[in-house]
Structure 1
Amino acid sequence: MDWSVLSVVVLFTTCSASLPNFIVIFADDLGFGDLGCYGHPTSLTPHIDRLAANGLRFTDFYCTSPVCSPSRASLLTGRYQTRSGIYPGVLYPGSRGGLPLNETTIAELLKPLGYATAAVGKWHLGVGPNGMYLPTHQGFDQYLGIPYSHDMGPCWNLTCFPPDVKCFGLCDIGTVAVPLMHQDVIKKQPVNFLDLESSYSNFVTDFISTSAFSNQPFFLYYPSHHTHYPQYAGPRAAGASLRGPFGDALLEFDNTVGHILDTLEKTGTINNTLIFFTADNGPELMRMSRGGNAGPLKCGKGTTYEGGMREPAIAFWPGVITPGVTHELASTLDILPTIARLSGARLPKVQLDGVDMTELMLRHGKSKRATMMFYPTDPSEKYSMFALRLDKYKAHFYTRGATHSGTVPDQDCQVFSVLKAHDPPLIFDLESDPTENYPLSLDNEHNLHSLLEKILEVKARFEASMVFGESQILKGSDPGLAPCCTPLCQPKPSCCQC
Structure 2
Amino acid sequence: MHMDYPGIIFIFTLLLLAGLDGDALPNFVLLFADDLGYGDLGSYGHPSSQTPNLDKLAANGLRFTDFYCTSPVCSPSRAALLTGRYQTRSGVYPGVFYPGSRGGLPLNETTLAEVLKPLGYATAIIGKWHLGLGANGMYLPIHQGFDHFLGVPYSHDQGPCSSLTCFPPDTKCYGTCDVGVVTVPLMSNDTIAKQPVSFPDLERAYVDYATNFIMKSAKSKEPFFLYYPSHHTHYPQFGGTEATGHTQRGRFGDSLYELDRTVGKIIQALEDSGVHNNTLVFFTADNGPELMRMSRGGNAGLLKCGKGTTYEGGMREPAIAYWPGRIQPGVTCELATILDILPTFAKLAGAKLPSVQLDGFDMSPILFDNGPGARKAVFYYPVDPSEKYGLFAVRVGKYKAHYYSRGSAQSSTTPDQDCSVLAFLKQHDPPLLFNLEIDPSENYNLSVVDDPEYKDVLEMIQGVKKEFEMGMVFGESQTSKGRDSALEPCCTPDCSPKPSCCTC
Q: Do both proteins adopt the same fold according to a TM-score greater than 0.5, normalized to the shorter chain?
A: yes
Matched with 1:160 is 166
Contact 1:387 1:398 in 2 (8 A): yes
Superposed counterparts of 1:99-498, under 5 Å: 99-498=105-504
Relative distance call for 1:244 and 1:109 in structure 2 (3 A) is same
SS in 1 for 2:452: coil
2:16 matches 1:11: yes
SS in 2 for 1:292: coil
Superposed counterparts of 1:43-54, under 5 Å: 43-54=49-60
SS in 2 for 1:377: coil
Which range moves more in the overlay, 442-451 or 74-83? 442-451
Which range moves more in the overlay, 85-94 or 435-444? 435-444
Contact 2:72 2:309 in 1 (8 A): yes
Cα shift readout 1:263-314 (whole Å, capped 9, x = no counterpart): 0000010000000000000000000010010000000000000000000000
Contact 2:430 2:447 in 1 (8 A): no
SS in 1 for 2:55: helix
CA distance in 1, matches of 2:385, 2:32: 23
Superposed counterparts of 1:82-93, under 5 Å: 82-93=88-99
Cα shift readout 1:436-457 (whole Å, capped 9, x = no counterpart): 0101035511111221111111
Relative distance call for 1:308 and 1:9 in structure 2 (3 A) is farther
Instruction: Measure how far apart 1:13 and its partner are.
Output: 3.4
2:97 matches 1:97: no
Cα shift readout 1:13-63 (whole Å, capped 9, x = no counterpart): 399841000010000000000000001001001100110000000000000
- Code of the residue aligned with 1:450 in structure 2: it is D
- Code of the residue aligned with 2:444 in structure 1: it is Y
Uncovered stretches (5+) of structure 2, i.e. residues with no partner: 1-5
SS in 1 for 2:407: coil
Instruction: Measure how far apart 1:486 and its partner are.
Output: 0.5
Residue among 30, 42, 64 paired with 2:70: 64
Instruction: Measure how far apart 1:384 and its partner are.
Output: 1.2
Contact 1:442 1:448 in 2 (8 A): no
CA distance in 1, matches of 2:14, 2:77: 28
Instruction: Measure how far apart 1:12 and its partner are.
Output: 3.2
CA distance in 1, matches of 2:305, 2:80: 22
Contact 1:5 1:359 in 2 (8 A): no
CA distance in 2, matches of 1:5, 1:435: 46
SS in 1 for 2:126: strand
User: What TM-score does the superposition give when structure 2 sets the normalisation length?
Assistant: 0.97
Matched with 1:38 is 44
Moved over 3 A (4+): 2-17
CA distance in 2, matches of 1:274, 1:488: 45
SS in 2 for 1:202: helix
State the number of aligned residues.
Answer: 497
CA distance in 2, matches of 1:6, 1:407: 58
CA distance in 2, matches of 1:482, 1:146: 12
CA distance in 1, matches of 2:124, 2:479: 25
- Code of the residue aligned with 2:317 in structure 1: it is E
Which range moves more in the overlay, 8-17 or 471-480? 8-17
User: What TM-score does the superposition give when structure 1 sets the normalisation length?
Assistant: 0.98
- Code of the residue aligned with 2:55 in structure 1: it is D
Instruction: Measure how far apart 1:7 and its partner are.
Output: 3.3
- Code of the residue aligned with 2:103 in structure 1: it is G
Relative distance call for 1:4 and 1:176 in structure 2 (3 A) is farther
CA distance in 2, matches of 1:475, 1:162: 39
Matched with 1:29 is 35
Contact 1:117 1:140 in 2 (8 A): yes
- Code of the residue aligned with 1:61 in structure 2: it is F
Cα shift readout 1:180-222 (whole Å, capped 9, x = no counterpart): 0000000000000010000000000000000000000000010
Contact 1:400 1:420 in 2 (8 A): yes
CA distance in 1, matches of 2:94, 2:15: 41
Contact 1:9 1:341 in 2 (8 A): no
CA distance in 2, matches of 1:440, 1:312: 26
CA distance in 1, matches of 2:9, 2:367: 12
SS in 1 for 2:238: coil
User: Identity across aligned pairs (percent)?
Assistant: 67
CA distance in 2, matches of 1:260, 1:34: 21
Uncovered stretches (5+) of structure 1, i.e. residues with no partner: none
CA distance in 1, matches of 2:9, 2:66: 25
Contact 1:116 1:219 in 2 (8 A): yes
Relative distance call for 1:8 and 1:294 in structure 2 (3 A) is farther
- Code of the residue aligned with 2:257 in structure 1: it is L
Alignment root-mean-square deviation, CA: 1.4
